[in-house]
């Protein structure tokens, strides 16, 4: 029997071209990220999409543009879908970034070195997703955004405290989870965009 319930897929942009000389929101997808996003187009759920929403960050917009070109759907940009605000520290190399991300999730009520508080980022992304669903036409929705705010949304959908245990797997992004549009019930957790 064919599924009839509308589904929301929260998609994180895949691999980016890291450029410490540019603000992180301006980073583009890397060649690998572009290839992974194109592989996503082979997934059967893509043809069922009725609307696309994206963060205004370049890497999310690059991913959304690939979906838009394949589906013919316009992309609605909502700035509130952006990643947690890390501008206070700017670019941090691998180990330093991972330590900060750990602290961000572990101390959700505190601003770690000036980063947006995880509690505030969670409230923002939850409200932004509700705005998406109020604006979207009936049917399946794709939201293209970022890993940390995706993890915070997933915590809310699962009814668990903020924790990095809900962060997307691997390094480089390019994962998605899905939930029922009407009930907000989680349908599945993180899966790679090019394997689901």
User: pLDDT 10s digit of each residue in the chain, 196 long?
Assistant: 455 799 999 999 999 999 998 998 999 999 999 999 999 999 999 999 999 999 999 999 999 999 999 999 999 999 999 999 999 998 898 899 999 999 999 999 999 999 999 999 999 999 999 999 999 999 999 999 999 999 999 999 999 999 999 999 987 899 999 999 999 999 999 999 988 5
CA distance between the termini of the chain: 20
* pTM of model > 0.85: yes
Closest CA to 57 of 38, 92, 34, 85: 85
Q: Determine the pLDDT at residue 1.
A: 43
The whole-angstrom separation of Cα 87 and Cα 116 is 9
The answer for residues whose C-beta is within 8 angstroms of residue 173's C-beta and 6 or more apart is 12, 13, 14, 15, 16, 33, 146, 147
CA distance 68 to 35: 15
- Supply the DSSP symbol for 16: B
């Amino acid at each position: 029997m064919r599924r009839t319930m509308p589904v929301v897929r929260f998609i994180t942009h895949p691999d980016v071209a890291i450029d410490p000389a540019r603000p992180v929101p301006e980073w583009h997808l890397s060649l690998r990220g572009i290839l992974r996003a194109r592989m996503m187009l082979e997934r059967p759920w893509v043809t069922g999409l009725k609307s696309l929403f994206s963060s205004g960050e370049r890497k999310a917009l690059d991913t959304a543009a690939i979906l838009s070109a394949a589906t013919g759907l316009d992309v609605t940009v909502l700035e509130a879908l952006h990643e947690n605000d890390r501008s206070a520290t700017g670019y941090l190399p691998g180990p330093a970034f991972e330590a900060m991300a750990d602290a961000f999730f572990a101390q959700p009520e505190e601003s770690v070195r000036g980063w947006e508080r995880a509690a505030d980022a969670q409230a923002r992304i939850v409200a932004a997703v509700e705005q998406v669903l109020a604006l979207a036409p009936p049917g399946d929705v794709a939201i293209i955004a970022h890993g940390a705010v995706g993890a915070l949304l997933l915590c809310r959908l699962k009814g668990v405290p903020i924790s990095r245990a809900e962060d997307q797997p691997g390094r480089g992004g390019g994962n998605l989870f899905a939930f029922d549009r009407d009930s907000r019930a989680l349908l599945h957790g993180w899966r790679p965009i090019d394997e689901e």
